[in-house]
Amino acid sequence: MEISGIYDSGPISPVAKIHENLGILTEGKYRYFNISYIEGLPRSRPFIIDMVALNNAANIGAYAQLNAQVVTAISPGGSDKMKEFLHLRWEPLDDVEGFLFELNNQGRYSAAGVFASVTRFSRDQDPFLAATTFFVMGVDKDATIGAYNPNAVVLPRARFVFWGYRYLVSPLDTKPAVATELPATSAVY
Amino acid sequence: MADRIGIRKAGNAGTAAPGLVITTGGNDLLHTQALTTVQTITFPARTFIIRKVMWYVPLALGNVTLDIGTLNAVPALVNRLPTILCLAGFDGELREADLPAVEFIAAAPLAAAAVRFDGNAYVLSQAAGVAVAGVLVAIEVEEFGA
C-alpha cells in the first residue's frame, strides 16, 4: 500500500499519478479504481460558492447556520464505468465558519460529538489548508456545507472557495497489488 | 499579542450603516463580540483590539470628549481607553501606533458581577460632562480567536 500523504503540510498535489490505482473508502469499505485522467481545479471565481445565495436567503443571521448541498460547483458526475472523483481544499472568504457533511448527515473533521470548522483563522497554523482536504466521489455523494456566522451581526455574504483536482477513475473488480488508499471520501461509516 | 494573526474589520455596529456610528448621547455600540454557545454555556469565542479610531465633531456641538470602553454588569460604561478630547469642527484619528493593545473580552459566566464585562466596545460622547449626540465615530478592530 502506498502512503497518500494527503494531509502533509504543503500545497495540494495529486494523491497518485495517471494509471496508478486508488483505494477509496466509500460506502463502508475500500473500493479500488484505476486513474484515467487528472486535471487541476484552480482556485478561481467559478469555484466560489455563496451560501447565502445558494439558500436563496437575504443574509446569514447572527449565530445562524445555513446548510446546502454544494451542487453547483462540486457535485461530480460519472457513470458506473467511469466516475469523477474530486480532491478539494477550501476556506471561507467571508467571516463565517464552514462545516462539512458528506451524505448530508456525516459530519467531517470531528472528534466524538465535536465538529471542527474551517475558519478565516485556519490558515494561521495551516498555510496551505492541508487539514481541510476532502474528497467527493461519484454521483449522489455530494458534499453538504454548513456556513455558521459566529458574529453578533447579520452578514450579507457567506462565500467559500474550493480548489484541487478532478480525477476520472474506473472501478476495478479486484484489489490490485499496489494502490494508494485514501482515508477519506464520502460516506465513511 | 503581536505574534497572533487576527481578522481586521470595521466595527460591526452602526447608526447610519455598519461601521459608522453617530453618537446618540448614550452608550453607543461600536463593535459586538463574537460569542459561541455550547451546551447552554456562552463562551467568548473571540476577543478584539481596537486598531484605529476616527471621528468628526460637527462645529455646533462644541468640543466633546469620547469615552471608549465596555459595559459592566450594571450596565455602566467602563473606560478601556483614556478619554479622547475632540475639537469642534475637526476630524481626527488615532492609529495602531497610538493605541494601547487593550483586549476586549467578555466575562466568563461565573465571573464576579463587578468584572462581568460584556466585552463589546461602546462610545459615549459628552460636551462639558453632559452627553451629546451627533459625533461621527468609526473604529477598526482586529479580532483574535478561531
Query: Are A150 and B5 in contact (CB < 8 Å)?
Result: no
Interchain CB distance below 8 Å, B33 and A124: no
Residue A9 lies in a domain: no
Query: pLDDT class for A136, splitting at 50, 70, 90?
Result: confident
- Domain for residue A128, yes or no? yes
C-beta atoms of B36 and A152 within 8 A: no
| pLDDT 10s digits, A40-61 | 999 999 899 999 999 999 999 9
Of residues A183 and A51, which shows the higher confidence score? A51
Distances (CA, A) of A36 to A52, A86, A115, A120, B65: 36, 14, 35, 35, 70
Instruction: Tell me how close the Cα of A121 comes to any Cα of chain B, in angstroms.
Output: 5
R_g of chain A, CA atoms, integer Å: 17
Q: B146 touching A, CB under 8 A?
A: yes
- Name the DSSP letter for residue A60: B
The pTM (predicted TM-score) of the whole model is 0.85
Which residue in chain A has the smallest CA separation from B5? A124
Is residue A124 less than 8 Å (CB to CB) from chain B?
yes
A44 lies in a domain? yes
- Per-residue pLDDT tens over the stretch B34-52: 877 666 676 777 899 999 9
Min Cα separation A124/chain B (Å): 7
Residue A43: what pLDDT? 94
Going by C-alpha positions, the residue among A91, A70, A86 that lies closest to residue A165 is A86
Total domains in the fold of chain A = 1
User: Domain range spanning residue A102?
Assistant: 21-182
Please judge whether B35 and A153 are an interchain contact, meaning their C-beta atoms are less than 8 angstroms apart: no
Work out the minimum CA distance from A97 to partner chain B, whole angstroms.
9
**Residue A15: inside a domain:** no
- Taking the C-alpha atoms of residue B67 and residue B84, their distance in angstroms, rounded to an integer, is 7
ipTM rounded to 2 decimals: 0.80
Residue B35 Cα, gap to closest chain A Cα (Å):
7
